[in-house]
Structure 1
Amino acid sequence: MTDFPFLSILTLFPLVGAAVVAFIPKTRAQLAKTVALVWSLLVLALSVVMWIVFEAGGDRFQFRESYQWIPTWDARFTFAADGIALVMLMLIAVLVPAVILASWHDVDESKRSVPTYFALLLALECTMIGVFAAADVFLFYVFFEVMLVPMYFIIGSYGGARRQYAAVKFFLYSLVGGLFMLAAVIGLWVVGGHTFDWQKLSDVSAAFDTNTARWLFLGFFIAFAVKAPFFPFHTWLPDAGVAAPAPAAALLVGVLDKVGTFGILRYCLPLFPEASRWFAPAALILGVIGIIYAALLAVGQHDLKRLVSYTSIAHFGFIGIGIFAFTTQAGTGSVLYMVNHGLATGLLFLVVGMFVARRGSALISDFGGAGKLVPVLAGVLFFAGLASLALPGTAPFVSEFLVLIGTFTVHKVYAVIATVGIILAAAYVLWMVQRTTQGTLNPALTEVPAMHKDITLREKIVVAPLVLLLLILGFYPKPVTDVINPAVEATMQDIGTTDPAPTAVANGRVAP
């Protein structure tokens, strides 16, 4: 079945679903939601089949498809997936149905079109799958830019207060980053032999002029740093995270941001190996600054959604140092972190959204003792918080451990500084949980009817798969790491780095 066109079907199928849902009359809101959910579950089913068929020890890129597009530029509809892309495609397939189900009652039918909202979610799924599946640089750029459109309308039309400001800021930041990428894409086409094919460019990348390669690397890196976002390109995310509907924000921080780190792994490192090594110290510094800076800001937040947004910036710092440590352990940890962060922070945003929907406010001061009224929902929030701070036994612990130990072998100072972020993570997560669900019950909560209704069956179905995956991958990550490892090892070979030789302690001395 490796010849089956999985990637093109996975890319187009949600787009067809979006068109179907968009044409459902506004008066049939329930039908629109049901069709969108079923459509996303079909994408999930096909993704599971693709995961089963994928050969972890086989070719680096599998499910390759290529169709003619713009012959003059040698731009083609080329799709292919390595282990890194595959795990991200599975993350999308898992999160989108959860987001659709979590959004069931988020849209006010009297003010906004329900079919349009769910059509936008499916359109967003199409572009997210396309950007991870593309094996043509120009095709990747097109999906990278088009991906902004559905999220812009989701934030700007269906978000909360200051939604228009947040949507414009999100769009402008991403658009400016995209302009840097466009310049780099054009330059890459010129120096790469007038082709956009990733494999052809990878084969000739060693012949690129050093200064040219560094400038091209910088163009791609800035675009990816904005998308991730890395410090200091991060300021759009807290505003977008607060303004977006909570389920959409789960996709924003759980998947869309990963395009940045994926782009670095797929394009910056293999196509510009010397430039990657040259820029690595600066990237490592930005990574550790982002970890500490964002964690400190998270500690001081009074808005639940803004707090979760800052935690994501800190987590991307860990992913960044893992990528630029250039060790297999750290690289595998970074990719696994991308998956686990999507699950943990996606779950956290979804549960926060459930609290906000009940209370009508995201301010922490408007809660207090909420666990006495909604104990099960409070327990899920506590678990999501513990997963976000990488408690042992949850999936993020494995990835964070791999990043830190892989970085420590080559950059001890950066690893030690990053460890401080773990302490700060415990502070902001436990502070959030304590102020929100523990302590004396806020009398105002008793006057809110929705706060007397604990987690519903629909909400249980939303959170249960994510909780289960976080626990399973926390104790047994092997099925995922077996897929990731070959792709990471191939990337390390592309940039010409090898893991440091292991050392042993003998008679009190460290010996090679």
Structure 2
Amino acid sequence: MNVLLWLLLALPLAGSVALLAFPRWIPYEKVPLVGLAVAGATLLISLLIAALFDYGDSGRVQFETNVSWISAIDVRWHLGLDGVSLPMVLLTTLLVFLCLLYTTRITPEVGRVRALVALALLLEVGMVGTFVSFDLIVFFLFFEVVLIPMWFVIAVWGDQHDPAGRRRAANTFILYTLLGSAVMLLGFLIVYANAGTFDIVELASGEGEGIARGAQILAAAAIAIGLAVKSPLWPLHSWLPDAHAKAPTIGSVLLAGVLLKMGTYGFVRVWLPVVPDGARAVAPFLAGLATVGILYGALACLAQRELKRLIAYSSVGHMGFVVLGIATLTPVGVNGALFAGVAHGLITGLLFFLAGAIKDRHGTGELASLGGGLYARMPRLGGLFVFACVASLGLPGLAGFWGEMLSLLGAYEPHASLSRGTYVVLMVLAGLGAVLTAAYFLLLVRRMCQGEDTLGARQDVTPIELGAWVPLVALTIVLGLYPKAILAVTDPAVQLLVGR
């Protein structure tokens, strides 16, 4: 069984290396199709893993590989899947496949598409590897693999009208994330110095045994800072709006859809079970910052004048709900956080696809320049844009509703060691943030879609675009109507991680 997990990492890595190392074998015009084929095969492997997964025992690590790698410090090549990681792996392989499908229609100038596709596949290796790692050092290495490829994606293929701006955004992204990762690694070393192992399963089963409370608090704070940068949590979010605004479409989709989830996934996989006493001490501060981020993100959206920056700030608010759910330290809140993460990946990925299509057709993302009349100008694209906005504001019956609702419910009844009064206040403030979220999305729809068309007709949705976007629409509806599809998978694993 573990061969499948190895293939899940080896196939996109081999595809990336082949595209870069053997250009004569793969002509330029075939590169997008080759990348799509590799991503499609990787997606099929992930679906096969999902089909063979034992859902009756989703709390157990399955498809496991556990061998010694660096014996001097007991680093083990420990990979596997459980109910927490499986949805994230499926989300990653799906979004990479849809992004590479999108590149078959919209590609950069001749000579650069090869590297872009290769970097997308390399990103897939790092993202999937993060979600299947069960050793702290292996987790850290995969966590870092994504940084250099994403820097190139933003710096080279970003906004072609602002070369200095896209390089500045890429530099800010990598500086923030590298510094955050350094602090996170310090937390991992504190854990190892006290527990004598990097193995996440062993550390989680020990529930912090052998790590003094003071060391746990220090490690929990360091790990939380590193993960908060990637999540991103206010006030460590400031790299995100520029990165999204300057990134190419597929860069924004993968950044919002998967890279942000690597941070929140780390909270659930590492932070909660490895240093539980430290997590209980740090959780109220984390919840407070998450709530500030929810309100800040909503208010910032109301002030934005550029479409992709607005969606980026909306991500700060949505990810605040995810972190708030985790900070309740309850199975309800953590399950809600995991569901919200998947829903955000689908919905915000769709929003960035649509924002990229609108910018491609008009040459700008400035709201004042775009004006209104999207319904009249491109009715199918306008309809999809409204659907994505309504889904993102959390309409019941769509996927965006359930995760945020469960996070708020977790805040209403937090872990017994936490102050319920404090969390109820945070829940009320976060609820106000949800109202503001509805306000700015409805204002955006009115501003862009309604009114008279002053720009003239543009090409409406193409078949390839429909192929890339319809799966996200369908999954948003399915998970909204049947949230158990995710919650039944995550809950047994969450119960083992935090239910104790």
Shared fold, TM over 0.5? yes
The question of 1:464 aligning with 2:470 is answered yes
Tell me, in whole angstroms, the C-alpha distance in 1 between the residues paired with 2:463 and 2:105: 14
Q: Which runs of no fewer than 5 residues in structure 2 stay unpaired?
A: 415-422
Tell me, in whole angstroms, the C-alpha distance in 2 between the residues paired with 1:203 and 1:337: 26
Kindly provide the CA deviation profile for residues 246-272 of structure 1, in whole angstroms up to 9, marking residues without a partner as x: 221011011001111111111111011
Q: For 1:61-72, list aligned pairs within 5 A.
A: 61-72=61-72
Residue of structure 2 in register with 1:235 after alignment: 238
Shift of 1:77: 1.4
Q: Specify the code of the residue in structure 2 equivalent to 1:7.
A: L
Shift of 1:25: 4.9
For the Cα contact (< 8 Å) 1:387–1:396, is it kept in 2? yes
Moved more, 263-272 or 181-190: 181-190
Shift of 1:350: 0.4
Tell me, in whole angstroms, the C-alpha distance in 2 between the residues paired with 1:380 and 1:30: 30
Tell me, in whole angstroms, the C-alpha distance in 2 between the residues paired with 1:359 and 1:104: 20
For the Cα contact (< 8 Å) 1:61–1:82, is it kept in 2? yes
Residue of structure 2 in register with 1:433 after alignment: 445
Q: Specify the code of the residue in structure 1 equivalent to 2:83.
A: G
Residue of structure 2 in register with 1:224 after alignment: 227
Give 2:402's match in structure 1, choosing from 398, 402, 413: 398
Tell me, in whole angstroms, the C-alpha distance in 1 between the residues paired with 2:109 and 2:282: 50
The alignment's C-alpha RMSD in Å is 1.5
Tell me, in whole angstroms, the C-alpha distance in 2 between the residues paired with 1:214 and 1:281: 13
Tell me, in whole angstroms, the C-alpha distance in 1 between the residues paired with 2:76 and 2:7: 16
Shift of 1:213: 1.0
Q: For 1:106-145, list aligned pairs within 5 A.
A: 106-110=106-110, 112-145=111-144
Kindly provide the CA deviation profile for residues 37-93 of structure 1, in whole angstroms up to 9, marking residues without a partner as x: 111111111111111111122152111102332111111211011111111001001
Residue of structure 1 in register with 2:491 after alignment: 485
Q: Specify the code of the residue in structure 2 equivalent to 1:420.
A: L
User: Given the two structures, how large is their TM-score scaled by the length of structure 2?
Assistant: 0.94
Q: For 1:109-508, list aligned pairs within 5 A.
A: 109-110=109-110, 112-160=111-159, 161=162, 162-193=165-196, 195-204=197-206, 205-367=208-370, 368-410=372-414, 411-442=423-454, 445-446=455-456, 451-493=457-499, 496=500
Shift of 1:145: 1.3
Shift of 1:26: 11
Kindly provide the CA deviation profile for residues 293-345 of structure 1, in whole angstroms up to 9, marking residues without a partner as x: 11100111010000000000000110111111122222111100010000000
Tell me, in whole angstroms, the C-alpha distance in 1 between the residues paired with 2:108 and 2:46: 32
Tell me, in whole angstroms, the C-alpha distance in 2 between the residues paired with 1:203 and 1:314: 33
Moved more, 114-123 or 181-190: 181-190
Tell me, in whole angstroms, the C-alpha distance in 1 between the residues paired with 2:24 and 2:247: 24
Q: Which runs of no fewer than 5 residues in structure 1 stay unpaired?
A: 497-512
User: Given the two structures, how large is their TM-score scaled by the length of structure 1?
Assistant: 0.92
For the Cα contact (< 8 Å) 1:26–1:113, is it kept in 2? no
Aligned length: 484
For the Cα contact (< 8 Å) 1:25–1:115, is it kept in 2? no
Tell me, in whole angstroms, the C-alpha distance in 1 between the residues paired with 2:461 and 2:105: 14
Give 1:21's match in structure 2, choosing from 16, 19, 22: 19
Kindly provide the CA deviation profile for residues 149-187 of structure 1, in whole angstroms up to 9, marking residues without a partner as x: 110110111101211000000000000001101222222
Residue aligned with 2:76, SS: strand
Residue aligned with 2:84, SS: helix
Shift of 1:287: 1.0
The question of 1:9 aligning with 2:12 is answered no
Name the CA shift for 1:437/1:29 in 2 (closer, same or farther; >3 Å): farther
Tell me, in whole angstroms, the C-alpha distance in 2 between the residues paired with 1:185 and 1:12: 27
For the Cα contact (< 8 Å) 2:191–2:211, is it kept in 1? no
Shift of 1:274: 0.7
Q: Specify the code of the residue in structure 1 equivalent to 2:477.
A: L
Tell me, in whole angstroms, the C-alpha distance in 2 between the residues paired with 1:304 and 1:224: 27
